[in-house]
Amino acid sequence: MSQAITAMNRRAYFFVGLFLILAVLMALAGIAFGSSWVSFDRIVTVIMGAGEKTERLIVLQLRMPRVVIAILAGGAMAVAGYLLQKVTRNNLASPGVLGVIDGAALGVVVFLALLSDESNSLVTSIAWQPVAAMLGAIIAIAAVFVLSGRQASSAIRLLLFGIAVAAVAKAAVMILMLVGPIYRTTQAARWIAGAVNEVNWGEIQVTALGLAPVLLLTLLVARRLPPTDLDEVSARSIGLNLPVFRVAIFALAAALTALAVSFVGGVGFIGLMAPHMARMIVGRPVIPGLIVSFLLGAIMLVGADFIVRVMFAPVEVPAGTVTAVIGTPYFLYLLMRKDRTNG
């Protein structure tokens, strides 16, 4: 390997280490802050297994789950965004345009509509809502792939089918939210906006179990990513079956997004911003890029939730607000630059 490439990789892994540390710090901050402050050493004590009962309650039941789910969801979204941007060779691609988020929203709204009685309260536990979201997301992805048929090999056309599916899903959400009474509407609207709510460790386990294999798969596949910059014929000649590969990448991105949104809702902006920033910092190396994306996404969502809790307490503003508000100017800045888009 030439000197330039080794230097590039070394630099990339340096950033991986840096962001790992930042992520841990951010997580600790997220656990520490809130209606009552828990100092860092107390947090460590609780994690070790000791500590007062109220402290343990706050840290283990309230704060940590929230932070952990934010890490998992933010990170998954970011990785999904990285994959999409790589495979479409376009910096503006993000999980939001695949129709996945709208499909998940439809799942949530259908769930709320079907399983609420006349007095506008839920007949089953709200814990089933994420399952509905996942189902909705998966159906949306499946619809996009089935409808696009052979055209699935073209990244742009796949995105366009995603837009169509998203539109239909959005319309259906709209109608259902009108047909139903207010409880469901605000509940659904909150989720759609992106809210890191109270989750329990059971749900986190489910998410982690789902995410782990997908992330592993992503890392394995990542080695093959660089040649996606090539055109189809050239890629084929070095042994990479591009259309099939692209579909696989899209499926991975969709699975990650579905897992992320099931608990958290629409935090699509992270999937746009994090990968882009990761690539700017780390450069071309793919595996460091993926890891830094994950870490950045985690930091962003934990940070956003943190801001929400600190600044807007006691109002529960969805974390999606913050990501959208920060994302807007950043995104505009992104668009204004004369970006080199390869696709």
Partner 1 sequence: MTRLPRGLLYCGLLVLLCIVGYASLTLGYKLYTPADIWGLLTGASGEAQIVLMQYRVPRVVIAPLVGAALGIAGVVVQTLSRNRIASPDTLGLNAGASFAVVVASVGFGVSSMLGLSAAAALGALLTALLVFAIAAGSGGLSPIRIVLIGVTIAGLFSALVEVVLTVRETMLDQLLFWLAGAVVDRPLSLVSTGGPVIIVGILIAFLLAPSLDILQTDDQTAKGLGVPIALVRVGAFASIALLTGASVAMAGPVGFVGLVVPHAARAMVGLKHVHQFIAAALFGATYLTSADVVARFVIYPLEAPVGAITAVVGGCVLVVLLRRRAA
CB of 247 to partner 1, least distance (A): 16
Q: What is the DSSP letter of 116?
A: B
Contacting residue, 18, 44, 114, 171, with partner 1 by CB under 8 A:
171
CB of 79 to partner 1, least distance (A): 19
Question: Is 327 among the residues that bind partner 1 (CB under 8 A)?
Answer: yes
Determine the interface stretch with partner 1 among 8-16, 216-224, 298-306, 317-325 (rule: CB under 8 A): 317-325
Q: Phi-psi region for residue 319, left (φ > 0), alpha (ψ -120 to 50) or beta?
A: alpha
Give the whole-angstrom CA distance, residue 327 versus residue 270. Answer: 8
Give the whole-angstrom CA distance, residue 188 versus residue 307. Answer: 22
| Of residues 266 and 297, the one with the C-beta less far from partner 1 | 266
CB of 193 to partner 1, least distance (A): 5
CB of 286 to partner 1, least distance (A): 23
Q: How many helices (H) and strands (E) does the chain have?
A: 14, 0
Give the whole-angstrom CA distance, residue 217 versus residue 256. Answer: 11
326 neighbors 53 (Cβ within 8 angstroms): no
Determine the interface stretch with partner 1 among 155-163, 242-250, 253-261, 287-295 (rule: CB under 8 A): 155-163
Q: Which of residues 93-132 bind partner 1 (CB under 8 A)?
A: 93-94, 96-97
Q: How many CB atoms lie within 10 A of CB 163?
A: 14
Give the whole-angstrom CA distance, residue 108 versus residue 130. Answer: 8
Roughly how many angstroms between the first and final C-alpha of the chain, as a whole number? Answer: 29
Contacting residue, 19, 82, 161, 306, with partner 1 by CB under 8 A:
161
Q: Which of residues 246-285 bind partner 1 (CB under 8 A)?
A: 266, 268-269, 272
Nearest to 130 by CA among 26, 262, 31: 262
Read off the amino acid at residue 39.
S
Contacting residue, 60, 110, 193, 251, with partner 1 by CB under 8 A:
193
CB of 65 to partner 1, least distance (A): 22
CB of 275 to partner 1, least distance (A): 14
- Partnered with residue 122 across adjacent β-strands are 116
Contacting residue, 25, 156, 219, 244, with partner 1 by CB under 8 A:
156
Give the whole-angstrom CA distance, residue 154 versus residue 148. Answer: 9
Contacting residue, 147, 206, 217, 251, with partner 1 by CB under 8 A:
147
Give the whole-angstrom CA distance, residue 143 versus residue 73. Answer: 23
Read off the amino acid at residue 261.
V
Point out which residues bind partner 1 (CB under 8 A): 90, 92-94, 96-97, 147-149, 151, 156-157, 159-161, 163-165, 167-168, 170-172, 174-175, 177-179, 182, 185-186, 189-190, 192-193, 266, 268-269, 272, 315, 317-318, 320-321, 324-325, 327-328, 331-332, 335-339, 341, 343
